[in-house]
A = this chain, B = another copy of it.
Amino acid sequence: MGSKYPKSVRVWLPLWALTLEVIFIVVFFFFTSHPASAGEQKKLLRNYRAFQDVFIMATLGFGFLNTSLRRHCWSSIAFNLFLLALGVQLAVLLDGFLIQLSFRKMVLDMSSIQKATMSATSVLISAGVVLGKVNLLQLVFMTLIEVTALSATRLVGLKYFSMDNHVSMMYIHMFAAYFGLTVVCCLQKPLPSASEDKDQTATSPSLFTMLGTLFLWMFWPSFNSALLDIADERKKAVLNTYYALAVSTVTATLMSALTHPQGKINMTHIHNAVLAGGVVVGAPSYLIHSPWLAMVLGFVAGVISIGGVKYLQVCLQRTLELHDTYGVHYTFGLPGLLGGIVHIVLMVLQAQGTDKSTLGYQVLINVGALGFTIIMGVTSGLLTGLLLNLNIWKSTHKIHYFDDQSFWKFPRLAVGY
């Protein structure tokens, strides 16, 4: 599996990305500064912790979530870290510029980095779909477009659809899933033999995937409550997420056994399906007043997630030739969409005092925001997919980017090739 890079490309590509990093530093030099005063210690503490939980999810959780394919385990973790580090820098800058809509100096505190980390998470979700089909430079390019498109979407949502920070951030699961799926639709199909080989799972990497799943599972309540400011809503978001995750875990495990011809549990189902409960209560979590509703949503998410992987995936793979290896559509896409709809329904049900016409307007504007997010995801994904199909990437297409020597020694011995 020798590299097919011509020498000029090998040197040029990393240099191009290094230049990007230098540009970032220059922009930071001119346009950013630390906050002047520290504020009170207590708030720093709270922010730091909330931030750390989100950071652990992005670094460890998503890093290890995509390691189950035998030939991508290393790449996925290292690429994940690389894309996160790059995406956060871009997201911090874009959030600052877009929200103040000018090029004044901006003050970056902990919560700026936190929001940027959550935005960069969208890249990690999309990377789960395209991993193994593109090289590192294409991923860098995808990161630039996706983070920009997401920041623009969130800005429009905040300004014109009167969304709040929390809800617009909870839509990123959906945005990222449909972005990634559209990109992968546009990409050239991999050769069947190579793809089959790459899809083989291995025991030990699969345990790493489980590690990623568990880290996401444990810290999901922090993710769903990170951008809520009122203590009461924050508490409800945390509790509801726990209930939904617990029920979706039980449901997904049993559904996996139920749909298997021999009554066995498929691990690749479990890796993703247990998280669907966290995704589905993302947007509406702060509006749910008793545990049972969160549990019902978790139940539905578990059923959708496993049912989707089992029946819908085969269908989509045949009609659209969509190769969604990790079932991102059923973990993040559909549950995110369901969560958005539930959020709108709950808003209507709980807005009893308001008069009819205002309510109708509110529903309209919320459905619009939901639809706009999906459309932006698909459109920017289409753009990315088409650009990634251009000839300039051809020479570097489908080439592994890791040093064979250190990587392949052990498996090569083990599997005898």
Please list the residues of chain A having a beta carbon within 8 angstroms of any beta carbon in chain B: 2-3, 5, 9-11, 13-15, 17-18, 21-22, 24-26, 28-29, 32-35, 37-42, 44-46, 48-49, 52, 55-56, 59-60, 63-64, 67, 70, 73-74, 77-78, 81-82, 85-86, 88-89, 108-110, 113, 136, 200-208, 210-211, 214-215, 217-218, 230-232, 234-236, 238-239, 242-243, 245-247, 249-251, 253-255, 257-258, 260, 262-268, 270, 274, 289-292, 295-296, 299, 400-404, 406-411, 413-416
Contact = CB atoms under 8 A, between A and B. Distances in A.
A232 B25 contact: no
Contacts of A88: 246
A204 B238 CA distance: 35
A201 B405 CA distance: 9
9 contacts: A28-B243, A29-B290, A33-B290, A74-B203, A81-B270, A110-B239, A205-B207, A266-B402, A413-B414
Contact of A34 (B291, B406, B411): B291
A44 B267 contact: no
The 7 closest A-B pairs by CB, nearest first: A10-B263, A38-B232, A202-B410, A29-B292, A3-B262, A85-B249, A85-B246
A220 to B, nearest CB: 11
A214 to B, nearest CB: 5
Given A32-B290, A78-B253, A207-B208, 20 more contacts: A11-B263, A21-B299, A29-B292, A32-B291, A32-B292, A33-B289, A34-B236, A38-B231, A38-B235, A39-B231, A39-B235, A48-B238, A78-B265, A78-B267, A81-B214, A85-B245, A85-B250, A200-B410, A203-B408, A206-B407
